[in-house]
Amino acid sequence: MRRSKRRAPALLQFLLMHIVPPLAVLWELAKRVANLLPDTWNRFVFSRFWGQGILSADVLFVMDSYEDVRLRSGFRWAEAQSRQELPDQACGSEIIHGTFSPQAAAMLTALFLRHTGRVLRIATDTEVNHKRDATLICYGTSDSNFKTFDIEASSESDLCQFSFNGSGERAFRLAGQIHSIEQRGGVTYDKAILLRLASRQHSQHCHVVCAGLSEWGSLAAVSYLTKNWKTLHKRFDRFGRRRDFCVLLEVQCGQSENVREVASAVWWEPKTVRQPDGTPPARDKTVAI
């Protein structure tokens, strides 16, 4: 009996010295691996959404050069003063294009830094005129961003068109429907698009357009992208294939976080590249959702 009592503390001491420390190390290692797995998976999914090119080439946030911002602002102020009124800052008024571009750039930079460890580069639309081997995120419509215009023209895409409504106001046309800024219950609602197109020159890159009919819509499109890219990947990149898509958004002016999806469209079949002899590609299948 006494021998068994003496053996118990010795066995406990042996376990504490030789068994518990390795188990503690293994437990700590297991926790670290468990923490790494979600990050690794998110990075993989992120590269699938944007294309493998984001890991080796530049990712550019492309905005208007705004070289004449101060001049335009001065003209607007002078015009308002001549009418003895102050410039209105509501959604439908003339908020200068690019007012919210620093916030948009900050959101996207944080997103790419978190998932790739790389910082987003900022460039103007004139600087990237001949940039081919890069992922481009264009901020603003083709009225203010030359690169957005270039992407729309070169893509030959019918997903969405920048058009006019019956009153001659700027609008987006998606799936045959016209969507413009609306007034409902005394509240102004802007419209915006989030458009992703595969680069026709480099399949590892994509071109993304975040554009609103006003600055509120452009900022809302960027915010929606940073928060919902994983959901968009699940919806539009099924069966291991990235597809061109366009999502139409509505946002209450002054509330860029309060965004809702109105409609969407996707190229269900991949784009066919134009043949070297100039033969046009077969028409792709567009699906409105």
85 part of a folded domain: no
Q: Are 53 and 132 in contact (CB under 8 A)?
A: no
Residues 21 and 63 in one domain: no
Residues 11 and 39 in one domain: yes
Residues 115 and 224 in one domain: yes
280 part of a folded domain: yes
126 part of a folded domain: yes
- Residue 249's pLDDT is what? 97
79 part of a folded domain: no
pLDDT tens for the chain, 289 residues long, are: 445 555 557 666 765 676 767 766 666 655 565 554 567 888 889 999 999 899 888 999 999 876 544 444 444 444 444 444 433 444 645 566 678 999 999 999 999 999 999 989 999 988 887 777 899 999 999 988 999 998 888 776 678 899 999 999 999 999 889 999 999 999 999 999 999 998 888 888 999 999 999 999 999 999 999 999 999 999 999 777 888 999 999 999 988 888 999 999 998 765 554 444 444 444 445 555 6
Computed on alpha carbons and rounded to an integer, the radius of gyration of the chain in Å comes to: 26
75 part of a folded domain: no
Give me the number of domains the chain comprises: 2
Residues 5 and 115 in one domain: no
Residues 59 and 35 in one domain: no
Residues 118 and 224 in one domain: yes
- Residue 66's pLDDT is what? 64
Residues 187 and 226 in one domain: yes
Determine how many CB atoms are found less than 10 A away from the CB of residue 258.
Answer: 13
- Quote the domain boundaries for residue 125: 52-69+100-288
- Listed in sequence order, the residues at least 6 apart from 285 whose beta carbon sits closer than 8 Å to its beta carbon are 267, 268, 269
Structure tokens at 241: 């294939």
Residues 198 and 112 in one domain: yes
Residues 1 and 112 in one domain: no
Residues 164 and 40 in one domain: no
157 part of a folded domain: yes
- Residue 92's pLDDT is what? 47
93 part of a folded domain: no
Residues 178 and 216 in one domain: yes
Residues 59 and 43 in one domain: no
Angle between helices 101-116 and 20-50 in degrees, nearest 10: 130
